[in-house]
Structure 1
Amino acid sequence: MSRHAGARAIEVLPRQLEPRSGAVRAGQQRHRERVAGGGARLYVADDDDKERVPGVPLLGVVSRGLSVVGDVFALGLDTARASVRRPFAAREVLEQFWFVVSVSWIPAILVAIPFGAVIALQLGTLTVQVGAQSFTGAASVLAVIQQAAPIVTTLVIAGAGGAAICADLGSRRIRDEIDAMRVMGVSPVQRLVVPRVIACIGAAVLLNGLVSVVGVLGGYFFNVIVQGGTPGAYLASFTALAQIQDLYVGELKAVIFGFIAGVIACHRGLNTAPGPKGVGDSVNQSVVVTFLMLFFVNFVITTLYLQLVPGKGA
């Protein structure tokens, strides 16, 4: 059969019947919206909830922002609930944990050294000016343990491991693997999100201790060598004012920050727009949103800690 004969043999299906009134059926409209939007999205409110109010564009932006916050919060609750439910993907947790740690520990160390040095140099200069040089060790060490170490650790995890997690889930999303898992009765949250969030939490806790040690050693070196501080005074002031609760609050921040970084990365990956551009946009959004959330949550935790836990000797 020739090419033209084969082309003539193709039967053209008739178009779907349309009502005489011209009305569009609700199912047909939802299908058009799904096709235009690249398919159904996980943890995203319906488009009806995101309509702009005529003449009030700011209200529409606020509404969409609150909707996204609610979606992230819902995913976090589902992740916490699914983490204690069987089956538990232990192998996937170990693989993701090793991946996050392997791509994060070297950048974390390289960032912790100048971070601790800058804090020690700045505080050392200030304490010399006010005549309180003997308290340089306590101020710099507490600043590293309570503030710098959790923030640096989670920023590195979000920028390296979180971006990779978001890109991985986004690629699965545009290849329809997430929808295929749901059709087969497999929960994407339990199979994909929970192992990655737990891996981010474990990596944040371990790397927080490493960054704390490196930051304290870097601050000690620069204070003693560069500024001519006294080693004994540096260590004595630290042991006189620091308490074990300071280490606890640093580790607690690492747990909370790791959870936030993992949930936001997974949320943006599961709600990636179609195409490679959608994956790139989701990665950028996950990193930026995680950074903003970390600084806000760090402010809240630090304020509550300073108000509720009295300082040593107070």
Structure 2
Amino acid sequence: MRALATVGEFAGFCAKTAKALPRRPFQWSELVKQAWFIASVSILPAALVAIPFGAVIALQLGSLSKQIGAESFAGAASVLAVVREAGPIVTALIIAGAGGSAMCADLGSRKIREELDAMETLGVDPVQRLVVPRVIAGALVGFLLNGVVSSVGIAGGYLFNVFMQDGTPGSYLASFAALGQVADLVSAQARAFVFGIIAALIACYLGMNAKGGPKGVGQAVNTSVVVSFMVLFAVNFVMVALYFQIIPQKGS
């Protein structure tokens, strides 16, 4: 029953955030500050993680394509894997792990110092003032970060395929047009945008409900990372399943 109550409270928190979204005045300075902070702590880890992701995918698919005599499609398979799955997944993990934990720690610290209660006493809505800019910042950074991760992952896969597996540079990219389509990139960008919103909402909710002093803030941060990972993987599965049901694939 406690779990169901928590889910209900989180749903109410999401509805309250959506209701506060169009309310004025909008906190532009807080949005810019949070977007810059999330990007600064996320972009380097995301790029470093994307390189081995793209390399491993290229190595695995390159070996498999040689075994079945389809070397010309190794590039297409690698790029599709990076764009469709690796990019959004890496983006989700970095946003939830780096950006989300920082949001939760910040709001949790404000909660135990009773800053949020003081804001409410002064007639300032903490959701509009603090949560809305963080949610929008998470969505924007997730959207942009996915493009960086996909580009770095494709470049890493290209280098490993060409220089370590003796692949043909032209066929690596040319074969992508035979199987890939614009909808693949649009779907990946949309998922990254949604992942940023979900990670920010979970982090803000747990941070604003932290209890028990500094220890409680630490527990809230750990919980936010674990819960975000579980929810993001589940949402990713649902969105991918819907994508393949709605959008016809090339060659099918």
Q: Deviations over 1:207-232 (max 9, x none)?
A: 11111100001011111111111112
Q: Determine the structure 2 residue equivalent to 1:67.
A: 5
TM-score w.r.t. length of structure 1: 0.78
CA displacement at 1:73 relative to structure 2: 2.0
TM-score w.r.t. length of structure 2: 0.97
Which of 150, 167, 184 is equivalent to 1:246? Answer: 184
- The separation in 2 between residues aligned to 1:273 and 1:110, in whole angstroms, is 35
Which of 127, 130, 137 is equivalent to 1:189? Answer: 127
Q: Determine the structure 1 residue equivalent to 2:26.
A: 88
Q: Determine the structure 2 residue equivalent to 1:141.
A: 79
Q: Deviations over 1:105-156 (max 9, x none)?
A: 1101000000111111111111111111211111111111111111111211
- The separation in 2 between residues aligned to 1:242 and 1:73, in whole angstroms, is 37
Output aligned runs, 1:42-191, within 5 Å: 63-191=1-129
Count of aligned residue pairs for this structure pair:
252
Q: Deviations over 1:198-255 (max 9, x none)?
A: 1111111111111110000101111111111111221121022111101100110011
SS in 1 for 2:175: helix
- The separation in 1 between residues aligned to 2:133 and 2:56, in whole angstroms, is 36
Q: Determine the structure 1 residue equivalent to 2:157.
A: 219
Q: Deviations over 1:33-81 (max 9, x none)?
A: xxxxxxxxxxxxxxxxxxxxxxxxxxxxxx2222222222222222122
Q: Determine the structure 1 residue equivalent to 2:196.
A: 258
SS in 1 for 2:52: helix
Q: Which has the higher contact order (CA 8 A, sep 6+)?
A: 2
- The separation in 2 between residues aligned to 1:135 and 1:79, in whole angstroms, is 46
Taking every aligned residue pair, what percent have the same amino acid on both sides? 61
Q: Determine the structure 2 residue equivalent to 1:289.
A: 227
- Relative to its length, the structure with more helix (as a share) is 2
CA displacement at 1:274 relative to structure 2: 2.1
- The separation in 1 between residues aligned to 2:10 and 2:71, in whole angstroms, is 46
SS in 1 for 2:23: coil
Which of 129, 133, 136 is equivalent to 1:198? Answer: 136
- The separation in 2 between residues aligned to 1:144 and 1:220, in whole angstroms, is 11
SS in 2 for 1:86: coil
Q: Deviations over 1:3-50 (max 9, x none)?
A: xxxxxxxxxxxxxxxxxxxxxxxxxxxxxxxxxxxxxxxxxxxxxxxx
- The separation in 2 between residues aligned to 1:138 and 1:307, in whole angstroms, is 21
Output aligned runs, 1:292-303, within 5 Å: 292-303=230-241
- Uncovered stretches (5+) of structure 1, i.e. residues with no partner: 1-62
CA displacement at 1:101 relative to structure 2: 0.4
- Uncovered stretches (5+) of structure 2, i.e. residues with no partner: none
- The separation in 2 between residues aligned to 1:249 and 1:306, in whole angstroms, is 10
CA displacement at 1:313 relative to structure 2: 3.8
Q: Determine the structure 2 residue equivalent to 1:19.
A: none
- The separation in 1 between residues aligned to 2:200 and 2:140, in whole angstroms, is 11
SS in 2 for 1:228: coil
Q: Determine the structure 2 residue equivalent to 1:237.
A: 175
